[in-house]
Amino acid sequence: MTRALLLENPHPDADRILASRGIEVTRVRGALDEDELIGALDGVDVLGIRSKTRVTARVLDARPHLAAIGAFCIGTNQIDLAAATRHGIAAFNAPYSNTRSVVELAVGEIIDLTRRVTVKNSRMHRGVWDKSAEGSHEVRGHTLGIIGYGNIGTQLSVLAEALGLNVIYFDTVERLSLGNATQMPTMESVLREADIVSIHVDGSSRNTNLFGDREFSQMKKGALFINLSRGFVVDITALYDHLVSGHLGGAAIDVFPEEPRANGEAFESPLTGLDNVILTPHIGGSTEEAQLDIGRFVSTKLADYLDTGSTEMSVNLPDLQLRPSASSRYRIRLIHRNTPGVLALVNQTFAESGANIDGQILSTAGGIGYAITDISSELPMEALEAISTMPDTVRLTVTPL
């Protein structure tokens, strides 16, 4: 029986989809630390996580039998992908499923901060009636600067323009402008012009401390700042200083350098207590619609990989799909080091055993290669033994068709 362990409470549809494909599912509600995770993975084939659990090289070295990891979220920086690849463990995520949810939160926060709703709300809770237009504005006619013009940044650009915002953006790679958005040559050029700056960069380590005192100083006086991307992108102390000094007019922060591992744990930040700051507990993608889509998408990718070897949209293995013919009896999947001549050696070994190859496909990415071979003959056990012991073999899997 194939076993899956799901942590951090992904949508229940994930259990249903995996179970329908013959996979036994066990759930643990919260995140696990390294030692706990190593223990919990004994006999487990598939691991599902969200953003809190760290799947380190130590974990993967201790459990190299793991077949696949599913990140029920956008980011995969919590997984040591190099270690996973080294062991031939496929990793999948959900890069698009919560895009709309994050964008809608950003739009709501742009309006709330521009209208000073946070300040009015805080004063009302203290029993102060402050009916005044001072400092409150429409978003129409203001300039939104987007840092990171990927899936989320582009969709935010479209909705913001529909609200009447002028959109400028910066990305480290060339991106097609949507609508009337304008690509700027540098991040600094965006910061100096934008009334609102929204961050939507990926989880790459190169984005660590992307925003600090220097970047906040480059922003316009009274500008608003939004971060729904990664906690390590922003120096929170520098942000606090620019807020209390009055240089920035407000901020909305959903992600933090240090976050509690579970609901109910204490949260601390210099930003708590500031009336012009919206703080949310990493809920950018936490809508029922997004979590449903993520649960279905990732669990389907995991099940497809176990059933057919499909690595479509894997984040660490070459993208391969092979449709079997009606006569195919076995699918042989070989993850191997990307060395010239591996496939020729594999086919020679099959030929010497008399195996009849129905279909075959190979792809490589960096230092790893992945080959799928369908055969219609009896399973060539001696050939499989020879292939499994080749110096370049990382993982060999045989699936009946």
Active-site choice (123, 247, 259, 296)? 259
- Which one, of 170, 167, 165, 181, lies nearest residue 148 by Cα? 170
Q: Are 368 and 318 in contact (CB under 8 A)?
A: yes
Residues 74 and 286 sit within 8 Å (Cβ to Cβ): no
Residue 249 has a CB neighbour count (10 Å cut-off) of 21
318-401: same fold as 99-279? no
- Which residues of the chain carry a pLDDT beneath 70? none
Question: What is the Cα–Cα distance from 251 to 196, expressed in whole angstroms?
Answer: 9
Active-site hit among 142, 282, 333, 336: 282
Sequence ranges of the domains in the chain: 1-98+288-316, 99-279, 318-401
- What is the architecture of the domain spanning 318-401? 2-Layer Sandwich (3.30)
pLDDT of residue 344: 94
Q: What is the pTM of this model?
A: 0.86
CA distance linking residue 41 with residue 59, whole number of Å: 9
Q: What is the pLDDT of residue 322?
A: 95
**Which CATH number among 3.40.50.720, 3.30.470.20, 3.30.70.60, 3.40.50.620 corresponds to the domain 99-279?**
3.40.50.720
pLDDT at 75: 86
C-alpha–C-alpha distance, residues 164 and 153, integer Å: 16
The single residue of 200, 230, 242, 331 carrying the catalytic annotation is 230
Please say if 259 is a catalytic residue. Answer: yes
**What's the pLDDT at 191?**
98
As a CATH number, domain 1-98+288-316 is 3.40.50.720
d(CA 31, CA 72): 13
Strand (E) or helix (H) holding 352? helix 342-353
Contact 356, 389 (CB under 8 A): no
Q: Which pLDDT belongs to residue 262?
A: 78
Would strands 166-170 and 182-183 be described as parallel, antiparallel, or unpaired?
parallel
Nearest to 78 by CA among 280, 341, 286, 261: 261
Q: What integer pLDDT is reported at residue 327 of this predicted model?
A: 93
- Assess whether 282 carries a catalytic annotation: yes
